[in-house]
Structure formats: C-alpha cells, structure tokens
A and B are shown apart, each in its own frame.
Chain A
Amino acid sequence: MKILVAVKRVIDYNVQVRVKEDGTGVVTENVKMSTNPPDDNAIEEAVKIKESGKAKEIVAITVGEDKAQETVRKALAVGADRGIHIKVDGTIEPLAVSKILQKIVDKEKPDLIFMGKQAIDDDCNQTGQMLAALLNWPQATFASKIEVKDKSLEVTREVDEGLETIEVNIPAIVTCDLRLNEPRYASLPNIMKAKKKPIEQINGSELGIDIKPRIEQIKVEEPPKRKAGIKVASVAELVQKLKNEAKVI
C-alpha cells in the first residue's frame, strides 16, 4: 500500500500573527514558519501504518514556494520515503491545491491520501473534501482514530455530537485531527538521512492546470479589541447591567 501525505507550510502556531498595515495580508517576513500542526499528525499516522507493515511507501507532498520544501524535508526526517514539491509562487487556493493533487494522484496512484483537517493559516478545511470530489473517492474527515482493515479503513471522526465511526473503502482520503496521535520528534540521525532522501521538484505551471485564485480578497484586518471588563458589587447590580447596558436578558 502506498500513502500520499500532503503537508503545508504555515506561520508557526506560537507566533502572534500581525496584519500588514495596508490591509493586504499578514506579515510573514522574519516570522517563524512550520508544518501545519494536523499535517504532522497525518505524517505520523502514515508512518505508524508503515511500521505496522501495512504500507510500503510514504510520499510527502507540498505545494508552495521554494521554502515550502522544508516541510517535506521534515516529513522525510520522521519517516516519509520520498518527497514531491510542486513549486508555486503567490496565493494558492484549496481548489487549485486539490487539482494539483489530483494530477499527482493520477501519476503516483496511492491507495490512501492523508492530510491535516485544515490549515491553521486560512482555516479553509476544503482541500481534502474537494480532492475527494475530483477523484470520486470516499472521504473520512476529522479522523481521531484510523484502523486499517483488509480493503477498507475504519475511521473514528470528531464531530459536533461526539464521535462517529465510519468505514470507507480504499482508495480513500482521510483528513486528520490533532487527537489522532502524538507526532514523534525527528532524531538527529534521521534528519541527516532525510537530507539525502529525494525530493522531486515539479513546476506548478507545467501541470497544465488553471490554478488562478477564484476569490478576491478585499481586506484583512485585526478583530476588534475586546473592551475591558468591569467588576460588579452584587448580583442585583449584575442583573441590572445585563438588562439595561448589555441588553442580553
């Protein structure tokens, strides 16, 4: 079995994101970037499945500028076998990423595709679903547990009501939740070995796909600042304020 894992380079989750003064986006200059956290869970799960003997090869793929390769390199350091980097500059939307992945799937013919449930930068939560539609494959989103059966997967999903367990036939797409596993650390020797693993570079423009953005971004701004709270002396005062000032009761 072959698993394709899609990873994305995003602003590190510890960094306080700052909106550009002119409202055209957020500041990425001099900002620490990392792999999108649930993508780490996707890689970890693929590696676990390979370690259990149920998969033969893990291919990590990313779409983005030159530096996005770092995320593939990190995936290689924790157990992916080889990498693919689709070089694209500028904004790239989930639909475009799905189309690119579809092309690569046609070529690579994986049995499973894993990725994070959504990216922490744009929070779209679309790529997995769109890819499933394009490929006409079954999908299991928000996976917090994956069991590999003979020709199917049993996937526990994190849904609003609680947990939902479904079975999907292979080939399938799974988008991973943070609860799925605890990603391992890359060890020094593995980081060194990863430097020697191959990353195939493909220029996005050579795939013959229309990857133009479909969404026009009008403005990016910070959420309004929360007003400072006040202390009330009694329950009566609280009720009075909720009624007359906040007008919520």
Chain B
Amino acid sequence: MNQNTRSFLALTKASLKMYYRNKGAIIFSLLIPVALLSIFGFLSKGSGSSIQIGLTNHATGELPKQFVETLKNIKAFKIKEITEEEATAELGKGNLDLEVIIPENFGAIENGKPITSNIQTLFNSAKPQSGQIANFAIIEIVSNIDRKLTNSPSVLSVKSTGVTTNNLGYFDFILPGILSMTIMQLGIFGVAFSFVAMKASGALRRIQATPVHPLYFVLAQATVRLLVTLATASLLIAFGTYIFGFHMVGSYFNFAIVAIIGILIFLGIGFAIAGWARDETQVAPVANLIQLPMLLLSGVFFSRDGFPSWLKTITDYFPLTYVSHGLRKIANQGASLAELLPDLIGMGVWLILIYILAVRVFKWE
C-alpha cells in the first residue's frame, strides 16, 4: 500500500473512532432535527394532513357536478361546500388552504359551443405550500376538462395526474428543509469546532511532527464528516418516512447527489472558519454570522415567495437556498438533475469559491 494511502486510512480510522465514541455529540446532532421534524410532523397531522378546500358552486349542470366529484375523489383534499363570505373568513383564520369558486356559466353551452369561463381560486398566504399544491391540482383538472371540451389531444396529462395524486402536505415540504439545515449545521459548526479544538490543543501540530502531509489529515476529517452527515441524513429520512409518512416523489439517488454537494460546500465553510480561527472563541460568532441569515432567509421553514423582491434576489444566491431548493424539487416534484441545472451551477460556483477561500485563509497554528 502506498504510504500516503496508509496514512490517510490510519487518520480516517482514528477520526471515525474519535467521532463515534463521543456519544453526547452524536445524540445532540440528532436531537434538534428529530425534535423539529416531530413538531412539524405533529402540526401537519393536526390539520388532518390533507389540504382543506372550500368550495362554492354557483353553476348547475353535468360538467360542474363532474368537476366537484373529481375534486372530492382526491384523497389529499378535504372539500367543504360553503358560501364565499364564509370562505373568506375561514381563509383568514387559516382553517382553509384554498377556496374554489365555480362561476354560474361554468360548462354552459352557447350556440353549440362551450363558452369561456373562469374558475376562481383564492389561497391562504400563510400556508402557500398546500394552497399552491392544491391550486396546481385544480388547474390540471380544469385543463383536462378543457381539453375534453375542445377535443384537443391530451398527451401531457399523464405525468401531471401522477403528481396531483401524491398526498403532499406541509411535512413533505419541511423535511428537505430541515435536512438542508442539518447538513449545514453539521458541516459548519461540527467541523469548525472540532477542527479548531485540535488546532488549539496542539493535536494538529503533533500530526505535523510526523512525515504525513497535514492535507491528508484535513482529507481524513472531511471524509469522516461526509460519512457521518450522510448517515445522519439517512436516519432523518427514515424517521420522517416511517413516523410521519414523508413522500419522496423523485429519486433517492438524485437526492443523495445534491445532498453530497451541499455537504461539501458546508464542510468547506467549516474548514475555512476553523483554518482562519485561532481558537474556539473566534469560531462561534463567525459561524453564527454565516448560519443564522441562511437559516432564516433560505426558505428552509417557509417559502420565500412573500419576500420583497430585493431580498428574494439576494437570498436566491445563498448556498442553503440552492441546497434546500434542490432537495425540495427532487423530493416534492420529482425533478431530475437536468431540471436542477441552475441550482447545480450555483452550488458548483460556491464549492469553488469556498475552497479557494479556505486555502487562502488557512493557518496551521
């Protein structure tokens, strides 16, 4: 075996042992995401885990009836027939995700031709995720009916119908977000603190006194952190799937690819901080300064749709935005890697920038 390989494996083995013997740290790194997942899991269970839809039907006739039946047959929807006034009040209270108003002339025929008619939908801006998903489903149903009426071929309907029958709730929206948050925290805080501690205590210097290049030590640490973060993410997905019925629409493989790129970005930030800092006291403020804005503004817990446009533009470029958006697109909409190209390019640019910065600011002592 090549000596560098042997050194790398020895350091990786030692770092892995060091990590799994630190039971307290492992429990803590799992505790927060599991607690958050549980809170959101129970919250979305509380609202019936289905999407609450108010329905006001002003029309009579066969077509509106069919439309209402189709809606009622979707398991994810809970349909309540109410008046427009009631619906506005319920939306305001947050009891409804979406209000659907069928106009009088819906499906009416004039001079042997179907007339143009608009179904109006109002969604709850406090819960835009469920509202938008429901809205999307309704647009699909309406366009299906529309195609039937106008006799145009409906070649594209199959995939869309598949998406609408996925019982996607807020929990499905939040899990990729919490996963991104965990990846970020394990990468930035986990690495920065443990690495700077080894630097401050002199353990790193002791490695430099041996013939191994210290870069292999950094590589070994990064490898262990990558493995540990992947294991943690898998545990969280398993937890979300078995306890709260998380739905993965896309492929786990694509999900893992985006997660690994995300882990590498945040590890890079962690190493940059640890490489620059002299001891632990310098790590905490810098790590927080980087983590907090991302945690609040990257759309991890809520959609960024409500942001003013300038803030949305800035936060578009946050690494956590790319990661959480990418993971969410795969998990909720089954996006392929090709569809995520803009996110992947963004992550790639960050990856390069971070590692250039880390090398620049790195100090061994």
Please indicate whether A and B come from the same complex rather than being unrelated chains: no
